[in-house]
Chain A
Amino acid sequence: MWAVGMFTLALVMTGLYPTIRGNPQLAKLHDTYPEALRSLFGITDLTTGIGYLRAEVFSLVAPLLLIVLAVLWGGDLIAGEEDRGTVDILMANPISRSRVLLEKWAALVVGVVIAAGGLAIGLVIGILTTGMHLGMAGLSAALLATALLSIVFGTVSLTVGAATGNRALARGSAVALAVIAYLISALADMVDWLKEIRPLSPWYHALGVDPLASGFSLVHFAVLIGVTGAVGLLGVVAFDRRDLAV
């Protein structure tokens, strides 16, 4: 479902590219935007393939949608079972709480990867049909970064849900963290003190470092994976200590 949505989004966004490229006025229009706005939406040169995809797809829309998917779902995986009361028959089975959490997390990762796959296919088709010039290395790095970023916040949502059993709190806190991470990454170029704390933002490590242009970065991806692991581990510990569905 989400994969189809992401696929369609990618087709539509890339489909608009020829219009923008063929219309210098429209492209120039963005130059008149204030610096802050341009930085916030990652706008650079819209007439090149990289510039266009960066601004229209990877700066906000695609990661936002994928994060929303991961956060909504992650928050439901454990807390939803408690909310609906199914946790009683689930946990009556001879399986440990850590295993349940781990399997739920694996399902989340697979789901996000499938949705990101939909996005990838749509983008590739769009790129080929509109004749956009773009390195495949940069594109796959950006896709992977987007997926990893969604998994980070999906895991936050899953962990808060597993630690509290409160679905709304899980989703809300993960979304809030994602917004903060985005703002830090997007505005750091203009605000000095934000630049200093920028390494704290997963968004910076994923998309702030411009993977479309710079390609794979082991260090930044390692940070994202590390954060996911640490947050997940917190979830395992908290979930194991708690009274379920009270």
Chain B
Amino acid sequence: MSAPLPVCLEAVTKHYRQGRGIEGVDLGVREGEVFAFLGPNGAGKTTTIRILLDLIRPDSGSVRLFGLELRGHSVELRRRIGYLPGDLALYEDLSAKEMLTHFAHLRGGPPWGAIAALTEAFELEVDKPIKALSKGNRQKVGLVQAMMGDPALLILDEPTSGLDPVVQGQVHRLIRSASAEGRTVFLSSHILSEVSQVADRVGIIQDGRMIDVRRVRELRGEAIHYVDVRLVGGHPFNLTGVPGVSSLPSENGLVRLAVKGDLNPLIGALARDQVEELAVREPDLEDVFFDLISGGSAATERDSRADS
């Protein structure tokens, strides 16, 4: 028998007094993986995450963490969870060091030495009152607070918001290494490039409902590459028989192509001609994503926009 899932939601519904939160969400996060929860603003990511922390209670459905029913095991489960809130608020009058040591004490947890390793990695000023820190540095305090003590499950609601690219990279590495050590990471994001760098699987939520769960590798497989080709002498290019390729309007001899999925058939076809110029743009996960949430119309919309 396999170990119970660190996170398992079944048909979880939560309505706020003012309206929809989430609707019948099913979700399983496996041990040791980085699972990204992807969705536009207001999709229900924070709602789902706050249910996992027992901050809000679902109207119906079952929430189990590590195989335990959340209600009734809330305290012992939170001992195994590190949480970074999406709308991060800290104790402004305390210094980072004061807040972190207090929380470490509440968790019966790590000595300051272990926490300091994290704050130093982030180059965080720990003695200033938190109200004197910049937004990015507050976010770092929140991240240290979530990651200290190496919890078995990290729940991070938009972990890199407000961080500069260097620190973002640092956070991504920390997330990957947590997962390499066998810990589980559940993070939310609406930035696809981030998700594709850091996650193993992606769950996509929109309007409070789970739309799809995919491996990031599969998503890449469906990604669209944009290829610009110029043949020697400006010859027209014969596309017949090349799968997944559609041509966009060409500009003075530069043939522009959109290729869905595998590039190899196109490369094979190109080899038959003399290529003067060739450019391939990165797979655009944004397009795959919008494809998914709009039921497959985004990429074609974009193509037709290019037409006009």
Nearest chain A residue, comparing its CB with the CB of B83: A92
In the complex, what residues of A have CB within 8 A of residue B142's CB? 89
A245 at the interface (CB under 8 A from B): yes
| Residue B76 is within 8 A (CB to CB) of chain A in the complex | yes
* CB-based nearest A residue for B54: A91
Task: Say which size band chain A's interface belongs to.
Answer: 10 to 19
Cα A246 to Cα B142 in complex, Å, equals 21
Interface stretch among B61-69, B86-94, B208-216?
Answer: B86-94
Q: Which of A17-25, A58-66, A80-88, A186-194 contacts B (4 or more CB under 8 A)?
A: A80-88
Give, as a whole number of angstroms, the nearest-CB distance from A95 to chain B.
6
| Interface contact A93-B78, CB-CB below 8 Å | yes
**In the complex, what residues of B have CB within 8 A of residue A233's CB?**
none
Q: Please, how many residues of chain B have a CB less than 8 angstroms from a CB on the other chain?
A: 30
In the bound complex, do residue B145 and residue A96 qualify as a contact, i.e. CB atoms below 8 Å apart? no
Pair B106/A88 contact, Cβ less than 8 Å:
no
Tell me, yes or no, whether A244 is within 8 Å of chain B by CB. Answer: yes
Given contact pairs A89-B103, A246-B56, A96 touches B90 in the complex (Cβ within 8 A)? no
Tell me whether A246 and B90 are in contact (CB under 8 A): no
B75 within 8 Å of A (CB atoms): yes
CB within 8 Å of B: which A65-119 residues: 84-89, 91-96
A92 vs B89: C-alpha distance when bound (angstroms):
13
Are B79 and A86 interface neighbours, CB within 8 A? no
* CB–CB B89/A84 < 8 A: yes
| A71→B85 CA distance, assembly (Å) | 30
Residue A243 lies at the interface, judged by CB distance under 8 Å to chain B = yes
B81–A92 CB distance below 8 A: yes
Contact of B16 among A86, A91, A92, A246 (CB under 8 A): A246
Q: Are B57 and A86 in contact (CB under 8 A)?
A: no
Can you list 20 contacts pairing A with B, beta carbon distance less than 8 Å? Answer: A85-B85, A85-B87, A86-B90, A87-B55, A88-B53, A88-B55, A88-B83, A88-B89, A89-B85, A89-B89, A89-B142, A91-B53, A91-B55, A92-B53, A92-B83, A93-B106, A94-B78, A95-B106, A243-B57, A244-B55
Instruction: Knowing that A91-B53, A96-B75 touch, tell me 15 more A-B residue pairs with CB under 8 angstroms.
Output: A88-B85, A88-B87, A88-B88, A89-B85, A89-B88, A89-B90, A89-B103, A89-B145, A92-B78, A92-B146, A94-B75, A94-B78, A94-B106, A243-B56, A244-B56
Chain A contact residues, CB within 8 Å of chain B:
84-89, 91-96, 243-246
The 6 closest A-B pairs by CB, nearest first: A85-B89, A94-B79, A88-B85, A92-B83, A243-B56, A93-B106
